[in-house]
Structure 1
Amino acid sequence: MISIDLSNKTALVTGATGELGRVIARTLAQSGANIIIHYHSNETKAKQLQQEIEQLGQQAFIVQADMGQLASVQRMQAQVAEQFQLPDIVVANAVSQYKWTSVLEQDVADYVDQFNTTVLQLVHATKAFVPHMIEQRGGRVIAINTECAMQNFPTQSAYVAGKRGMDGVCRVLAREIGEHQITVNQVAPGWTISERDRLSGTERSDGYDSQVPLRRRGTDQEIANVVAFLASDLASFITGAYVPVSGGNVMPTI
């Protein structure tokens, strides 16, 4: 029987305390991985997640860092190397929130913020953790992108600019480090149902759902399942891919 087996692997999930990050971390742990839980400000949620992962029988280690600042990420790397174990899998999931509006109205600082938390997050994580993967001749880098990067709808400009920039870094990085058997891929969710939606009863959105070929929003678990697949040996010959998990709402063409 084929199964996703991440036994003896360690995964770093950035933004692990967020709605999607928590599900990704749990799913990788359920697949056998030990988890490095990165958080920016929500230490309480990080500790709760650590307890959940340990209850699954896996090790969990909490680290704090500002992923947009290289010195902060380097401190995190040193802490992980000294007190835990360097990751075989890096999931670049962290993202900052801001108010979406038109290009004419959007604060320039929002573009800088999105660049820092998408493009530079990936660059900093690469500099900090990929050298270890090169040494061990293998690893996985998985970046969380978005269907918005293909849609380019009004008010999305800062978010799309950051995510499309991250896409470019991913594709170049895949070519640069592929010889070391390190894969670099992107998972691009649509508008995802999260724990917050389940608690508030907002799982359905008829206007959005009607435009999706599968006629529904995807779930956080469905996104995490694809991350786990790409992290596993089942995806050992996939690199440089942008994988929409959007029910067909966006379809890259040849």
Structure 2
Amino acid sequence: MNIDLRGQTALITGASGQLGRVMARTLALCGADIVIHYMRNESKAAELQAEIEGIGRRAVTVQADVTKAGEVTAMKERALGLTGAVDIVVANAVVQYKWTPVLDQPIEDYISQFESCVIQSVLLAKAFLPDMVKRKKGRVIGINTECSMQNFPSQSAYVSGKRGMDGLYRVLAKEVGEYQVTVNQVAPGWTISDKDRENLTERQESYESNVPMKRRGTDQEIANVVAFLASDLASFITGAFIPVNGGNVMPTI
């Protein structure tokens, strides 16, 4: 049984980032054409485009601030110019900021997290879901976080944004389910990426000791779940929040 995304186009926001680039590469290896969104890292986006084209898939890079309606609309127009339809939308981009206690966290950080988690997802839905509804097929995948279930000190802005995102996705799944469009979330733990490999920081024993599998996950393991949810193999899964963290957090019934 193979994951076959041939004939489909996937848009990944934040595709030039640590996790996004592996998602883009993985979906391309499954046969999808790729819309590579980036905010600032144009060189990495161009490098990723060349890599994807090198394996025989079509790719286009798009710069946009995904918290701005006009820029998301422009991104949609460029994306549709690739194949005429976007079948898979992966909301991966998020604003980075310094984590501090609630009493010290600037209000601007809460606003940025709400915009990059919730508003981004709303704008992507408004831009791409109407076509999916018409075709009665589509995949929306949001990248959440295990932090949404942990609620540890200093995580407040990040957690509030991601928990808002979670509520939006659950409602959206109910609203578009009858059109055979699925809406799901992948929640990574503290994941090993290229940055860790370059800096030799893959091992984090204080974190790993609390993980039932006693290790950190990898960027490829996150991308594998995204690919599964994007495929027909996951055609009857919607409204799910799927932790990919070796059991570090476990949703309850």
**TM-score scaled to structure 2, two decimals?**
0.99
Unpaired segments ≥5 residues, structure 2: none
Across the two proteins, how many residue pairs are aligned to each other? 253
Whole-angstrom CA distance in 1 between matches of 2:80 and 2:201:
41
Indicate the SS of the match to 1:141.
Answer: strand
Q: Counterpart of 2:3 in 1: which secondary structure? A: coil
* Secondary structure in 2 matching 1:191: coil
Residue 85 of structure 1: aligned partner:
84
Q: Is the 8 A contact 1:61 1:84 kept in 2?
A: no
Deviation, 1:41, is 1.1
SS in 2 for 1:250: coil
Secondary structure class of the residue paired with 1:161:
helix
Q: Which residue of 1 aligns with 2:250?
A: 251
Aligned position for 1:43:
42
- After superposition, the C-alpha distances for 1:46-67 in whole angstroms (9 at most, x for unaligned) are 1000000011110001111101
Q: Distance in 2 between matches of 1:234 and 1:15?
A: 25
Q: What's the CA shift for 1:85?
A: 3.0
Within 5 A, what are the aligned runs for 1:8-47? Answer: 8-47=7-46
Counterpart contact for 1:6–1:32, Cα < 8 Å:
yes
The Cα of 1:84 is off from its aligned counterpart by 4.4
Kept in 2, the 8 Å contact 1:192–1:217? The answer is yes
Matched, 1:149 2:144: no
Q: What secondary structure sits across from 2:175 in the alignment? A: helix
Q: Secondary structure at the match of 1:173?
A: helix
Instruction: Say which is worse superposed, 165-174 or 67-76, in terms of deviation.
Output: 67-76
* SS, match of residue 71 in structure 1: helix
Map 1:201-212 → 2, pairs under 5 A: 201-212=200-211
1:183-202 matches, cutoff 5 A: 183-202=182-201
Which residue is 1:72 aligned to?
A: 71
Helix, strand or coil at the partner of 2:187: strand
Q: Secondary structure at the match of 2:11?
A: strand
C-alpha distance in 1 between matches for 2:250 and 2:232: 25
Match of 2:181 in 1: 182
Task: State the identity as a percent.
Answer: 64
- Quick one: distance in 1 between partners of 2:37 and 2:3? 23
**1:73, 1:128 within 8 Å by CA — same for their partners in 2?**
yes
The one-letter code of the counterpart of 1:198 is R
> Counterpart of 1:217?
216
Match of 1:4 in 2: 3
CA RMSD, aligned part only? 0.8
Q: Which residue of 2 aligns with 1:58?
A: 57
Q: Distance in 2 between matches of 1:158 and 1:94?
A: 16
Measure how far apart 1:71 and its partner are. 1.2
Scaled by the length of structure 1, the TM-score of the pair is: 0.98
**Secondary structure in structure 1 of the residue aligned to 2:182:** strand
- Alpha-carbon distance in structure 2 between the residues aligned to 1:114 and 1:107: 12
Shift in Å, 1:83: 5.1
